[in-house]
Amino acid sequence: METTKSQLKGEIVRKLYESDDMRYAVLRLKDEGGREIVIRGALAGLNCGQLLEVSGLWEKHPDFGMQFKVDAYQIRLPGTREGIIRFLSSGSIPGIGKRTAALIVNHFGEETLKVLSEKPERLQEIPGIGRKKAKALADCWKNASDRRDSYIFLQGLGITTAYCARLFKRYGDQAVTVVRSNPYRLAEEVDGIGFLRADEIAQSLGVEKDSPLRMTAAAVYCANQQILNGHVCIPRETLENETAKLTGQSIELAQQGIDNAITRHLLRGLDDMIYTPLLARAETELPELVASLALVREFAGQKMEPDFRFGEIQFNAEQQSAVEQLRKTPLSIITGGPGVGKTTVVGEIVRRAKRAGLKIFLAAPTGRAAKRLSESTGMGAKTLHRLLMFDPNTNKFTFGREQHLPCDLLIVDEVSMLDIILAQALFRAIAPGTSVVLVGDADQLPSVGPGNVLADLIRSGWFAVTALTQIFRQAENSLIVTNAHRVNRGLLPVNPPKSDALADFYWIEQDDPEKTLDIITRTVSERIPARFGLNPVEDVQILTPMNRGTCGTIALNDVMQKLLNGGEKPQFTVGERLYKLNDKLMQTVNNYDKSVFNGDLGTLVRINTAEKKFTVQFDGTRDVEYNFDESDQLSRAYAITVHKSQGCEFPAVVMPFLSQHYMMLQRNLLYTAMTRAKKLLVIVGSCDALRMAVENMRLEPRFSLLHQRLTELRKQIRKS
């Protein structure tokens, strides 16, 4: 395989494959020597007869031999009679088929394209083409030429065909004008084009590196990168340094970029910290919302009568305190690890609330967590998004400041997953006088989204906090529970004693990535189904610290898809991603229109290639239809990251934990992964990697002033 770039020139003679999302194509190109070559890459939207100049690398495809992988190309118009006929009849100009194309080219020869561009009225010279048809063909040619010229211009800037299509979808015929006037708008407004790509385009257009447009866009980009890392805000000095480093410009210019972004309301400065407007609003409003609920004198929990019998279940002092708090305060938090009785306490709270005649709502951030809450309480629970009823027509939640949730008691589980934006939406929707119970494990990973809400609320003083610590006798028999608590105390997990009896925890010592991959594939596909009777797709979940690497999600999903969902069956490809009937999938972004949310797991149950649609079934009951070009909202889920598993519980979890994952080896990540397993946990990893994790309590700080704002507001109210 060659590793140096090559260039080719030739004519497209056949379209072998084009993805439905218009991002990828495989074409047959005849080069100047008459040799036919298969080329592949971001070539969708091109047509037979077009001349191309391409650059890229030769690669050997395992099934189809040598191919040319294109990373850049330029379009040229055809110059031969045959090429012009193929080009005109390729479908690029509506109204011109093979017969009409041949008539036109036979009449005008190699001057055809010039005639179409400069003297289209001459089409009337051809028998069968009257004035009306000539005008229609001329209009089609002009529109196609304008769009083609725009494509050529944009591709000359390094914008692929796929992104050209997105630009025209977003801006229509103004696409080129927008790109010329301010290419950095693309970073703000076009999905998939970030600052770095927009910056390359701007440089191609000759935009100066110290341009205010560039510095402003860079400041916004750097701020948004911090949000992706979980920060709510960023110190101004840090943002200045990051912006200067990214652009290669001075601190003074970075400061001007930040100031411009603030002036344009793209960023907001508060207390020497820089926010996006959305996060600034959330962090300043949330403390006020909490205070409005905490300071009421009458609340629903006061109607719950004391009951020292606690039903037929024996409760310890911690659990009794957690239940009794509802009569004393409107806001309470119950926290603790696995096996300490959080579910039992919630069940008792629900029992007493029902007896008091209270209207109860139950919710959790994810569908699986909501389902588990429903099963444990015997009451219906919803995801927070469904509870608050997002309205896609207004792009807002139905329940909020103007319309509160009609309940007396609200219980929210898995609150460690709650980011600051969703917390703001939730507390907006709660009416003063409602009793609120938040349940979560403070030692788990913080939310994927910005903030560290549960920890900040626990420390704020606004909530009555009960930490459950006593492990119940039944849970003590589980090595999953025992080892999760050992890890949380900084100790290595232990294997079960050697015997023929089945255990719920196994640690297989291994640090070689290839051997680990082999162990995991055989464990999931053979050993667990044979010994535990669990379904390898429905019951077993592979969790891994990272996406990349031999034991990352990408490689594991490739292997497990072939192993667990192989054979001939309906399938479709988008780009280089393959989706097959019965694939296990996970939603990776919130889609409010379809009411599916980041982290929802489903199964691909139908593929309609004729209409370019497919259907995913979530929760075993709810079917959601997608277009092929929406498939990037989903990823295969035979293996997922530990972060994506938050709020979920699986019958069995298999997890690689290797030294090569050193960047992610932290105690709360290992602890979170272990607590996702309900019946069986298998860790394939090295002692060094696990020791590194349990000893690493260093948590990456998340920039946020929520805790300070909560405590300061409490002090102000106490003084007044």
Confidence of residue 611 (pLDDT cuts 50, 70, 90): confident
The contacts found for 250-259 with CB under 8 angstroms, 24 or more apart, are 253/210, 253/215, 254/215, 254/218, 254/219, 256/212, 256/215, 257/212, 257/214, 257/215, 257/216, 257/217, 257/218, 257/219, 258/219
Least confident range of 104-108, 184-188, 285-289, 451-455: 184-188
pLDDT of residue 23: 61
In tens, the pLDDT along 56-84 reads: 888 877 667 788 988 777 777 676 777 77
Rounded to an integer, the average pLDDT of 117-127 is: 84
Q: Label residue 91 by pLDDT band (50, 70, 90).
A: low
pLDDT 10s digits, 219-266 = 999 998 888 888 999 999 999 999 999 999 999 999 999 999 999 999
Tell which wins on pLDDT, 430 or 44.
Answer: 430
- In the predicted model, what is the mean pLDDT of residues 117-136? 83
What average pLDDT does the chain have? 86
CB of 283 closer than 8 Å to CB of 420: yes
Confidence check: pLDDT of 297 > 70: yes
pLDDT of 202 above 80: yes
DSSP single-letter state for residue 638:
S
Between residues 467 and 43, which one has the greater pLDDT? 467
Rg of the chain (C-alpha set): 30
Which range (168-177, 479-488, 563-572) has the least confidence?
A: 168-177
- Residue 399's pLDDT is 95
- Which pLDDT score is estimated for 626? 92
pTM of the model: 0.77
In this predicted structure, the answer to whether residue 192 has a pLDDT above a threshold of 90 is no
Residues 432-448: pLDDT tens digits?
999 999 999 988 888 88
Sequential DSSP letters for 498-555 = SSSS--SEEEEE---HHHHHHHHHHIIIIIHHHHH---TTTTEEEEES-SSSTTSHHH
The predicted structure's pLDDT at residue 1 = 44
Per-residue pLDDT, averaged over 501-521, amounts to 92
pLDDT at 160 over 70: no
The 10s digit of each residue's pLDDT in 552-580 is: 999 999 999 999 998 888 888 876 678 99
Share of the chain above pLDDT 70, in %: 93
Mean pLDDT over residues 357-378, rounded? 90
